Amino acid sequence: MERFTDRRVLITGAGSGIGRATVHRVLAEGGLVVGVDINEAGLAETAKQAADQGVGERLSATRIDVGDENSVRQGVALAVENLGGLDVLVNAAGILRSAHTHEMALADWNRIITTNLTGTFLMIREALPALLATAHGVIVNFASTSTFFAHPYMSAYAASKGGIMSMTHALAAEYAKQGLRVVAVAPGSISSDMTDGRGPGLPADADFSLFGKLIPAIGQGFAAPETVAGVVAMLASDDGAFITGTEIRIDGGTHM
């Protein structure tokens, strides 16, 4: 199955986790990919894995700090130039931090909002001209199950992801007549660098009884990042051609 043959795809967060898994999935389906991340070592590992799989010639890696306007402007321009245009933007980059809200420093709040929400906006703004130049542009944003359901100690993260979901709906309406689709995925209970171990740095005195509703209903614990990458690939391909302005939860029935 090669749903991305002749499709040019820009993927953020490509240095680890779901972003890396999405890079590999799109490459496996024939796509031409630019993977970006602030983590250059992670990007190098993603590129090495692609080379080992025999698809490295279709992947370029570029450092972008999604929270920095100049970095995004320059990086997206370079990516579009290298790809010769752009068909799909996947905004997988993000950070997760936890704290008692009454103890959260403003700098920590701002870092989460800047990376997750503002970073998604900046990537979209800079990529829009190239995406609109095609007849089938797609943006896949990353929200979270924390948008719908209580995730203790994660108020800043939830706020950033709620903003992304609302922005997804607004963009879908604004650009639908120009052929652009905008959708979101809302992962939960997915194993990644953000969630493994103590993951988001839960407070030392965190009340784990508050997490009783955050256990997947199916499977054996958290799912692999590839679980999300498969859904992203469907949404970004022609299989998702009649899907826009909405989101898909990927959480193993955690919040049924």
Which tens digits make up the pLDDT trace of 22-48?
999 999 999 999 999 999 999 999 999
For this structure, is 157 an active site residue?
Answer: yes
**pTM of the entire predicted model:** 0.94
> Which candidate, 188, 189, 190, 171, places its Cα nearest to that of 180?
171
CATH number, domain 8-250 = 3.40.50.720
Residue 160 φ/ψ, nearest 5 degrees: -65, -40
- Candidates 157, 185, 232, 244; catalytic one: 157
Residue-range domain boundaries for the chain: 8-250
pLDDT, averaged across the chain: 93
Q: Is 153 left (phi over 0), alpha (psi -120 to 50) or beta?
A: left
Express each pLDDT in 43-62 by its tens digit.
999 999 999 999 999 999 99
